[in-house]
Amino acid sequence: MGAVIESRGIVKAYGGVRALNGLDLRLGGGRLSAIIGPNGAGKTTLFNVLTGFARPEAGTISLDGRSIERLSPQRRAQLGLVRSFQVQQVFPALTVGETLTGAALLRAPLAEARRRARAICAELELPWEAQPAELAPGQARRLEFGRCLATRPRIILLDEVMAGLTSAEADFMAERVLAAHRAGVEIVVVEHVMEVIRRLCDEVHVLAGGRIIASGTFEEMARHPQVVEAYFGTRRSYDAA
């Protein structure tokens, strides 16, 4: 069984609004998971809380049974928990190669970090000497994923990594995500592209009102009345045939 991250009773409020309201969730353990929900459901907030970029008002978070809710984002990353961002978070003056090498330095000495960065750059078909501003949108998404891979992660939380990609780019990314999962990295995706979720994920968790309202396979969730009502906004289910 792979790494497991678990949250219990998580509460995160902004002003008077509870983005997460007593959320319980267990992720990892060998299953490629998706978290879906309507806009504003709290999906990115959940990733922020799990990775230490936001502190919850209540609740606990554990990684393989170890409490991590008081740890910094860097310390969580050193333990193998990393995430991508919807909006690319890079140093604009650094090249692709420098960005990947910098990420790899989190858990490797310089020579090894450079080797790993070059391997990931080749795997993701990225231009080593290019700067982030020179990348096409699909390449920028791959760089965000590559930066996660460079840290030798145990769990990657991918926040809409397929957003804005062409069909061919999404296929390319999906194959690399699956390859990482087959290599032993736990993957959790927040995604709006239903075809990607159906193709990639073993389980789907549906977030609404700050809580998980249902969990199961894609086919089960696509026909779950409460999920259809909350996520799709209609009593018609997504065609999962």
Least confidently predicted of 36-45, 62-71, 73-82 = 36-45
Q: How confident is the model at residue 88 (pLDDT cuts 50, 70, 90)?
A: confident
pLDDT at 234 over 70: no
Bridging pattern class, strands 203-208 and 155-159:
unpaired
Q: What is the pLDDT of residue 237?
A: 44
Q: What is the pLDDT of residue 158?
A: 96
Is the distance from CB of 201 to CB of 34 less than 8 angstroms?
A: yes
Q: Start-end ranges of CATH 3.40.50.300 in the chain?
A: 4-80+153-232
**Mean pLDDT across 228-235:** 62
Class level of CATH domain 4-80+153-232: alpha beta
Quote the pTM value: 0.91
**Mean pLDDT across 102-111:** 96
Helices (H), the chain: 43-51, 73-78, 96-104, 110-123, 137-150, 167-182, 194-200, 218-222, 225-227
The Cα 15–Cα 87 span in angstroms is 24
Sign of CA dihedral 184, 185, 187, 193: negative
pLDDT at 150 over 70: yes
The Cα 124–Cα 146 span in angstroms is 7
**Mean pLDDT across 76-83:** 96
- Nearest residue to 71 via CA among 57, 89, 55, 47: 55
Q: What is the pLDDT of residues 157-179, one digit of tens each?
A: 999 999 889 999 999 999 999 99
Three-class SS state of 139? helix
The residue whose two tokens read 């690399």 is 176
The Cα 26–Cα 4 span in angstroms is 7
Is the distance from CB of 174 to CB of 142 less than 8 angstroms?
A: no
pLDDT at 227 over 80: no
For the chain, the average pLDDT equals: 91
Q: How confident is the model at residue 236 (pLDDT cuts 50, 70, 90)?
A: very low
Q: How confident is the model at residue 231 (pLDDT cuts 50, 70, 90)?
A: low
Sign of CA dihedral 156, 160, 161, 162: positive
Q: What is the pLDDT of residue 39?
A: 82
Q: What is the pLDDT of residue 1?
A: 59
The Cα 167–Cα 178 span in angstroms is 16
What the block records as the tokens of 182 is 């087959």
* CA 182 from centroid of its chain's CA atoms: 16
Helix, strand and coil content of the chain, in percent to the nearest 5, comes to: 40, 25, 35
Q: What is the pLDDT of residues 93-102, one digit of tens each?
A: 899 999 999 9
Q: What is the pLDDT of residues 22-50, one digit of tens each?
A: 999 999 999 999 999 888 889 999 999 99
Q: How confident is the model at residue 240 (pLDDT cuts 50, 70, 90)?
A: very low
Longest dimension (CA), the chain: 56
What the block records as the tokens of 96 is 């692709």
